[in-house]
Amino acid sequence: MEKIVKTPVPVAGMGWSVIGEEEIAAVTKVLQNPGNLFRYMEGSQCDVLEKAIKEKTGAEYALFVASGTAALACCLSAFEVGPGDEVIVPGYTYIATAAAVIDVGAVPVICEIDDSLGMCPIDLEKKITSHTKAVIPVHMQGIPVRLDAIRAICKKHNLLMFEDCCQAIGTKYKGKWVGMEADAAAWSTNFFKTITCGEGGVFLTNNADAFQRGVYQSDSGMTMWKTTLPLTREIKPYSRSGVRGNEIAAAVLTAQLEKLDGMLTHTRALKKRLISKLNKPINYKLQHVDDPEGDSGFSFTMIATDRHVAEKLNKMMVETGLSIGSVYNEGFPDRHVYAHWDPIIKKLSATPAGYPWADPAYKGNVQYSADMCPNTLDILQRCLRITLNIKMTEANIDEFAEAINAVDAAL
């Protein structure tokens, strides 16, 4: 194939974001007052960040913690999910979604995805048992899942719903930030996420009692600290993890949060331009997006008619200069496919007792295998994806579209 993509394709500085003078200034300000490096000091940067997040999202409560995994564990513990409970997670997400379930003593149940690359509502309902207590849909790559359908199922079966928004900060669904109508939600702000402080997470909820339990989950000594957190409920305290946020990371993230709207305006415009310039597909279809207006715009995915077609399309696109690959076959994304979650698939417990699967409180009998979700594996093996970022230009997008159209027509 003739080389079509000739304009240099830029990459963002950290994950999809960029660290600039604003973040450097924010960190410098914190370090100039080293006596306040602990989050419970007066004028805490964590407090500033949490207030900004609440104002931006409309959430009643926000807690900055050490990671997205920790934020998910806060969601679960906040609503008293634990030993004896099953929690349904999709087969396409980072292993942390399932690991957080195990962290609180519950058992993850893995369900299929569909062409949204999110949780399949049909298979979700099939996986519900008398032990199911909660569902965790995941908005992968900033694209909202089929939320209306999943919400309806959770309501029908009286299940808790926690949204994993770790890859979807700023993503919306029908005008509202994803996670805001769930029982609780989690963000990740590590290196690879929409906005980043290197490593961090945020636990969000509108439930006052749950927030207080989530705070207990995050800090084993919470009852010993005098804080500015709104802990006004008569909730029995308990000690759990030590995953509270830190001041330097909070300062970086506050600066990043101020850049978020501009970043998403750019990536959303790029994706809309790319889709508008594509010819009618012959050998592929576009990923289903339940709310295109809410899509963050930094991930574009084609789903080929079969795996062999995907391989041919990939090879031909590389020849045109377009770097594109399969979600399933690339080395790094394998960590996001359930078949590679060996500690879970093989029930590798941290204790000889086989916790949490053999916990006396658990009366179920969930079974795992690498091929237990064949539809998920089939869809992912047919996916070809381009990651868009804030440094890309319209020229990049136009060449991407030209290359896709040329290859699809030539195959």
pLDDT of 350 reads: 84
Q: Which fold has domain 21-256?
A: Aspartate Aminotransferase; domain 2 (3.40.640)
Residues assigned a catalytic role? 193
- 333 pLDDT band (50/70/90 cuts)? very low
pLDDT of 328 reads: 56
Burial of 340 (0-12, 13-18, 19+ CB in 10 A): middle
Amino acid letter for position 132: T
Look at residue 285 and tell me whether its pLDDT is greater than 80. Answer: yes
Residues 140-192 have pLDDT tens digits of 999 999 999 999 999 999 999 999 999 999 999 999 999 999 999 999 999 98
Domain extent listing, the chain: 21-256
Of residues 282 and 1, the one with the higher pLDDT is 282
The mean pLDDT value for 224-231 works out to 82
Question: CA of 171: how far to CAs of 118, 146, 237, 295, in Å?
Answer: 14, 13, 34, 6
CA pair distance 57, 291, nearest whole angstrom = 18
Among 18-22, 231-235, 296-300, the least confident range:
231-235
